[in-house]
Structures are given as structure tokens and as C-alpha cells.
Amino acid sequence: MSAGTALVTGASSGIGAAVAAALVRRGYTVYGTSRDPEKVNDPVEGVTYLALDLSDDASIEACAAAAGPVDVLVNNAGESQSGPFEELPMDALRRLFQINVLGAVRLSQLVLPGMRERRRGRVVMVGSMLASFPLAYRSSYVASKAAVKGFAHAARREYAGYGVGITTVEPGSIATGISERRTQYVAEGSPFRAAYDTMLAALNANEARGITAAKVAATVLAAIEAPRPRPLYAVGSNAPLVFALRRVLTRGAVERMVARRHGLR
């Protein structure tokens, strides 16, 4: 017997693929999404792939319709972006927020009414620890993940009385090869080039040493299966220690700690 139906966005690789595989093992009927399901290089056994382009509202609606009623939605798909604040192109910012924030919000809006009516369900937003520990030259990505967390935190009380849990999982550094897919915007002759390159080298090194996608998936699964999921789960990058330090250190001290971890002053 199926444990229920789950929809996992961005399930062609990385965290999404690991979450989809974990849910299959738990007995869920799992739909995973990809921009082009026919081009998924290493499909997860037991997962049915649906097309989803988060920059296209019609695609989002078609995906929700194809999946039908779902008990679990994991909003994992997204884009990583970096660049000096003043050099980020507005069209790139709009695309990032459409994919990372508005697309996830719209898909959630489409599946939540069914969860509310059935009085059960879980929505997990896959964010980033950078939303809690902002990093220079990552402002657009930080802001997009903070926005996703904000939506989840505010909306969770609206649905708690209906048996529906909404939560955010914030991974730290993850070894998924995301550094190779990150979009970057740095102007030629940028005065920020040296500091940006320093940050990026440290960021890539931290990610190469990061936790596995499977470890993040285990945390996502814990959030899904908790009787009363917490608002926030963090995993990787010494999350228990750094969140404890965040509670006792000043904001300035935390900012300096994050900067030093990335080679900045």
C-alpha cells in the first residue's frame, strides 16, 4: 500500500533525486519534475517524471494537474546565482525570483487546497543556510531563499489547524556539483573582482567538502514524517553549532564569522 503521493521538484539530480529515492523507499507514489523528463540522465527507479518549467505559469499549472492530489510537496528546484550587488542584471534577478520563489509559491497554492480539504499534507521548502547567514556577493540568492522561508513561516499557521505542515529545510554546503551550474554576473573591470574571486574559491571548496545529498534528503524526510514539523530544519556546515552561536553572538559577529569562512574580511 502506498504511503501517499509525493511531488518533488528538481528531481533529476542532487537533493531532489535523493529525496525522491528516499520517498520511494518509504512506499510513496513519487512524481519528480524536470524541465525535460526525456533528458534525465540517471532517473530514479520508481519515480514518474513530469515536465516543469518554474518560469512558466502554464507549465506549473500543467504539472500540478498531471500529479493530481498529493500528500507531500517538496519545493526543491531552483537556481544558484552570485555576483556583486550593483552588477546583478535586473532580468537575471527577475528570473531567479520567478524560479526560486514565485514558482514554488504558485505550485504550493495549487496543491494546498486539496491537502486542506483532506486535512493532511506536508509542504517542504528547500532553502539554504545562507538565508540565515548571509554572504557577500550572494545577495540575490540569499534574498530568494529568505523569501521562500518567509512565505513558509507565515503560511504555516494558516494550515496547521487543517493537519497540513509547512516547513523549511536549510542545507549548508552540499557536494552536489551545484558550483558548476551557478549563474554568475560580474562586470568587466569590476572593482569587486578580487574579493568576489576569493569568496567564490572558498564557496566552491566548502561545497566540495560538503555533506551528501542523501544526508539532506534524510532531514527532508524527517520534516515530512514529524507529527508536528518544526518551522525550520538545518543540516550541514556544523548547523547545530553555528545556529547556537547565532543566538548568543551579535549580528556583526555572525557576519564576520561568515565572511572569514569565505576568505573575506
pLDDT above 90: residue 230: yes
pLDDT above 60: residue 1: no
What percent of the chain is predicted at pLDDT more than 70?
Answer: 99
Query: What is this structure's pTM?
Result: 0.95
For every residue of 139-150, DSSP letters joined together read HHHHHHHHHHHH
pLDDT per position as a tens digit, 168-213: 999 999 988 776 789 999 999 999 999 999 999 999 999 999 999 9
Helix axes 103-118, 57-67, angle to 10 degrees: 30
User: pLDDT at position 48, please?
Assistant: 98
Q: For the chain, how big is the Rg over CA atoms in Å?
A: 18
Question: Is-contact 53 30, C-beta < 8 A?
Answer: no
User: Which residues participate in catalysis according to the annotation?
Assistant: 141
User: pLDDT at position 180, please?
Assistant: 74
CA distance 256 to 161: 41
Q: Which residues contact 200 (CB under 8 A, 6 or more apart)?
A: 82, 137, 184
pLDDT per position as a tens digit, 60-119: 999 999 999 999 999 999 999 999 999 999 999 999 999 999 999 999 999 999 999 999
Task: Give the chain's length.
Answer: 265
pLDDT above 80: residue 241: yes
Instruction: State the average pLDDT over residues 157-168.
Output: 98
User: pLDDT at position 204, please?
Assistant: 93
Among 202, 182, 211, CA closest to 81: 182
User: pLDDT at position 154, please?
Assistant: 97
CA distance 212 to 137: 25
pLDDT per position as a tens digit, 127-149: 999 999 999 999 999 999 999 99
CA distance 247 to 22: 32
Kindly indicate the confidence band of residue 2, based on its pLDDT and cuts at 50, 70 and 90. low
User: pLDDT at position 137, please?
Assistant: 98
- Average pLDDT taken over every residue of the chain: 96
User: pLDDT at position 179, please?
Assistant: 67
Q: Out of 28-42, 126-140, 173-187, 235-249, pick the least confident.
A: 173-187
Kindly indicate the confidence band of residue 50, based on its pLDDT and cuts at 50, 70 and 90. very high
